[in-house]
Amino acid sequence: MPGGQLEACYLYEYAREFFKSSKHLQKFEKEWSDPTKRQTAALRKACDLLRTRCNNFPYIDFDYFPKIAWQDLPVLPKTACRGFDINLRQDATDHVNEWATRHRKNRSARLHIETLQQCEPPNIRTIEAFRDYHEFFHGILEREDLGNTEYGFFAVNWDFKNSQIVEAFKHWLNEQREARRASGLKEAKIIISRHCCPA
């Protein structure tokens, strides 16, 4: 796909699928189409909703979304009022890639946790779907070796203090490291990141 558009395309097409099941997005699209409503407010609310799911969602315009597929998004020619062309795909690609460059190399490369509440995409409801989602964003796009990445379930009881939850997690980590060594699994390489923060 030209111009590094893979991630932007993925996000845009995900949003088109999400639109089919999201009553809120459908409501915002109707408000956008209604000349008696505040169109800019509807568009802003739609963007805010999508960016609660993925922070790097590109600008979404109901003039084209969700009717037009990614590969069919046009280049808008310059007009008398606007003295430049607008390449919708390239603008979305630039936004997504710029965000990824600034934020992708963070703690989620070390530990990626999302509750079902956060996993709004309706297809992310199984370990396999979450693995594919994680490998797309942290493997293919970052060229990372995910051979030592494991996937599973977790439960958090928010009645406990943060310090107690962290202590339980540290204990679990130590147990798992020891279990991996005992079972003869390949020793994980230690990755030092400039972005690491002290615990």
69 and 50 housed in the same domain: yes
182 and 160 housed in the same domain: yes
30 and 61 housed in the same domain: yes
153 and 92 housed in the same domain: no
What's the 3-state SS for the chain?
CHHHCHHHHHHHHHHHHHHHHCHHHHHHHHHHHCCCCCHHHHHHHHHHHHHHHCCCCCCCCCCCCCCCCHHHCCEECCCCCCCCCEEHHHHHHHHHHHHHHHHCCCHHHCCCCCCCCCCCCCCCCCHHHHHHHHHHHHHHCCCCCCCCCCCCCCCCCCCCCHHHHHHHHHHHHHHHHHHHHHCCCCCCCCCCCCCCCCC
Which structural domain range is residue 63 located in? 1-103
- 115 pLDDT more than 80: no
**Which pLDDT score is estimated for 153?**
80
50 and 125 housed in the same domain: no
93 and 190 housed in the same domain: no
- Total domains, the chain: 2
Q: What is the pLDDT of residues 180-189, one digit of tens each?
A: 888 876 654 4
Q: What is the pLDDT of residues 65-88, one digit of tens each?
A: 999 999 999 998 988 888 888 889
- Residue where a domain stops, chosen among 66, 85, 103: 103
